[in-house]
Amino acid sequence: MEKMTNVVALNFAIENGNFPTEVVEKLTAIRDSYIRKSTNKKPTANQKENEGFKDTILAVLAETGAVTVTELQAKDATLGALSNQRVSAILRQLVQDGAVVKTVDKKKSYFAAK
């Protein structure tokens, strides 16, 4: 089942409701404003900065192979300046994108480039 968002709820109400024309027009306008708002999102400064760190992480992983977050930070000075949590979050995004493989061995997570 898809996530219940305002747009999904408004679409359901418009399609299944027996409303007067004015109400349908108002619901359609509200739905369209939600759609416009979601398409105009720009990445934050932090998200832009993380994109640069993703390139650094991929370069280090290509050289080293499977490493933990702490080992990854020790291999590169710019990554060493970041917190473990931030590097882990960036790695999780890379795993979701399919650029990095995560393996767990005895409660330790290892990351390697694909």
Does the pLDDT value for residue 1 go beyond 90? no
CATH of the domain at 96: 1.10.10.10
* Mean pLDDT, residues 13-22: 92
Distance in angstroms (rounded) separating the CA atoms of residues 107 and 25? 55
Do residue 77 and residue 109 come from a single domain? yes
Cα-based torsion angle of the residue sequence 114, 72, 50, 112 in order, rounded to the nearest 10 degrees: 10
In the chain, how many domains are there? Answer: 2
* Mean pLDDT, residues 82-87: 93
- Residue 110, helix vs strand vs coil: strand
Where b means 16+ CB within 10 Å and e means fewer, 86-111 reads bbbebbebbeeeeebeeeeeeeebbb
Domain assignment present for 51: yes
Do residue 82 and residue 49 come from a single domain? yes
Do residue 63 and residue 108 come from a single domain? yes
Do residue 49 and residue 33 come from a single domain? no
pLDDT tens digits along 63-82 = 988 899 999 999 888 888 99
Where does the chain have alpha helices with state H?
6-16, 21-39, 45-64, 69-75, 77-80, 84-97
DSSP 8-state code for residue 106 = T
Extract the tokens encoding 77: 């000075």
Domain extent, residue 12, equals 6-39
* pTM for this entry: 0.67
The contacts of residue 76 (CB under 8 Å, 6+ apart) are: 56, 60
Do residue 53 and residue 91 come from a single domain? yes
pLDDT bracket for residue 89 (50, 70, 90): very high
Domain assignment present for 1: no
Q: Are 63 and 110 in contact (CB under 8 A)?
A: no
Do residue 65 and residue 26 come from a single domain? no
Do residue 96 and residue 64 come from a single domain? yes
pLDDT tens digits along 26-44 = 999 999 999 998 888 888 8
What confidence score (pLDDT) does residue 39 get?
A: 82
